[in-house]
Amino acid sequence: MYLRESIEAYKRNDPAARSGWEIFFLYHGFRATVYYRIAHWFYLRNHKFIARWLSQRAKRKTGIEIHPAAKIGRRLVIDHGEGIVIGETVEIGDDCLLYQGVTLGGTGIAHGKRHPTLGNNVMVGSGAKVLGPFTVGDNARIAANAVVLREVPPNSTVVGVPGHVVRINGEKLDQVHTPDPIEQEIAALNERLEILESLL
């Protein structure tokens, strides 16, 4: 069941996917999640060395590192995937999409929950870093190369370094025409400066 619905999820999210066989044999993201499911099974049964061995083998073969203790929902799609890191206490909901270079990590060496929780239907763009023990709400979109260090509301779009919410309940994120919150703030400051200069 997991295999079939995961393959269908890849077909929905990747227009380059031509067949289920191609996804099964050639997609690193798909292979990494299969390895993860097996490693997680061993981890839950306290065979932690075997679980970690499997996760490291997957990392060498796919370039994707998923800790076997992470909790990942159904139909996760990892597009390209090279350089993805998913930490030990990460939780990922159903129908999420991660692009290459994403880090779901922590900000220190504290014990306990130290990695993010992604809700359902979350998209994380290429190179984005989501760091810390907070929640990214359902249907959120994180733009490429954003650095997210705090809670993200559901149905919102986050861009920038550090990440800023630029849209809530808006249209689906357009990776090409994403607004830059810092540029918008500088433009607003320039406008105010021009008004003040005209008053002097």
**Distance between CA atoms of 200 and 195, rounded to whole angstroms?**
9
pLDDT recorded at residue 181: 64
Q: What is the mean pLDDT of residues 178-185?
A: 67
The 3-state DSSP class for residue 33 equals helix
Is the pLDDT at 48 greater than 90, yes or no? yes
Give 31's contacts (C-beta < 8 A, 6+ positions apart).
Answer: 58, 61, 62
Q: Indicate the residue type of 105.
A: G
Give 171's contacts (C-beta < 8 A, 6+ positions apart).
Answer: none
CB of 165 within 8 A of CB of 152? yes
pLDDT recorded at residue 135: 94
> Of all residues in the chain, what percent carry a pLDDT higher than 70?
92
More confident residue, 89 or 8: 89
24-28, 106-110, 174-178: least confident range: 174-178
In the beta sheet, which residues pair with residue 72?
92
Which helix or strand (DSSP H or E) is residue 156 part of? strand 156-159
User: Residue 83 is part of a domain; what is its CATH number?
Assistant: 2.160.10.10
> Of all residues in the chain, what percent carry a pLDDT higher than 90?
59
- Predicted confidence (pLDDT) per residue in 68-103, tens digit: 999 999 999 999 888 999 999 999 999 999 999 999
DSSP string, 40-104: HHHHHTT-HHHHHHHHHHHHHHHS-EE-TT-EE-SS-EEES-TT-EE-TT-EE-SS-EEETT-EE
Domain of 95? 2-199
In the beta sheet, which residues pair with residue 79?
99
Q: What is the mean pLDDT of residues 158-177?
A: 71
- Structural domains counted in the chain: 1
CA angle 117, 119, 123 (to 5 degrees): 100
pLDDT band at 45 (very low <50, low <70, confident <90, very high): very high
